[in-house]
Amino acid sequence: MNPSSFRHDEPAPGARELLRVFHDEARAPVPLGTAARPVELDGPVRKHYDLDPAGHFAMVESPDGLGDDPDALIARVRDFFAERGQRVEWKTYDYDEPRDLAERLLAAGFEPEPPEALILGEAAPLAEQEIVLPEGVIVRAADSLSDFVRMRVLQEAVWGADHGAFTQALAAEWEAAPHQMDVVVVEQSREGPVLCAARGEYDSSGFTGLWGGSTLPEWRGRGLYRATLLHRARLGLDRGKEYVRVDASPDSEPILRRLGLHRVATTTPYVFDPAA
């Protein structure tokens, strides 16, 4: 891996340094797994997955490249998850080695999903900005399981699918490791609907991961998602996190860049699904 190979055309000063810090702090260290979700090394590949093959999480990364025989290593990883019958995502960044990693994954049966922008920035300038919301609307950190029940209603209204398993798993993670996650809701009252929700996640790096972000259609364009970004940056600073990171869709990227954050790379998931 060589972040100096930095491929995205980003003119903003400091973008290269942000990418270097991100790689050194967030990607290079091997993450700690758990008994239920181990991290295993296969040469330079990190396999992070639910031990129960029916689990929803299986992720592969190779921030240090793929060595001298990348095709054999890719095939071995693919076959490992094929034997388990488990869908897996290989998360790539456009500066990863080898340069033709995407083509090699395609040849091995992995399918690309829509690319996202890797957006990075310092948390303090973000946190200093004023939160402006419609009258009577507030943003706060979730503090009870009832918030997750209301979030499920929001998710299903936005995405049109059953999100019971997802919100239950999210609530369980939040309860078990509150030092690793803040969930943020925007609402008019605790008895009414959640209008927008998102989460901030923390690891050993100096970054707050700004994940999710769902807003009821009738409330879009009124600053709710922006409010969750600013509030999560403040929560992260309270935990000593100096930076923020986002894998941004085309819809959210313009909002993030207007707030002063920088697009530093493109990240594309390649998925192998044995059931497909």
Judge whether 202 lies within some domain.
Answer: yes
Query: pLDDT of 111-151, one tens digit each?
Result: 999 999 999 999 999 999 999 999 999 999 999 999 999 99
Q: Clarify whether residues 142 and 239 are in a common domain.
A: yes
Q: Clarify whether residues 228 and 152 are in a common domain.
A: yes
Judge whether 105 lies within some domain.
Answer: yes
> What domain range is 152 assigned to?
130-258
Q: Clarify whether residues 19 and 110 are in a common domain.
A: yes
| Residue 8, pLDDT above cutoff 50 | no
Q: Clarify whether residues 98 and 183 are in a common domain.
A: no
Q: Clarify whether residues 11 and 109 are in a common domain.
A: yes
Judge whether 57 lies within some domain.
Answer: yes
Judge whether 87 lies within some domain.
Answer: yes
Judge whether 263 lies within some domain.
Answer: no
What total of structural domains would you count in the chain? Answer: 2
Can you give the pLDDT at residue 1? Answer: 45
Q: Clarify whether residues 219 and 162 are in a common domain.
A: yes
Can you give the pLDDT at residue 12? Answer: 54
Query: pLDDT of 144-192, one tens digit each?
Result: 999 999 999 999 999 988 888 889 989 999 999 999 999 999 999 999 9
164: CB partners within 8 A, 6+ apart: 152
Q: Clarify whether residues 141 and 97 are in a common domain.
A: no
Can you give the pLDDT at residue 11? Answer: 43
pLDDT confidence band for 55 (50 / 70 / 90):
confident
CATH of the domain at 159: 3.40.630.30
Judge whether 123 lies within some domain.
Answer: no
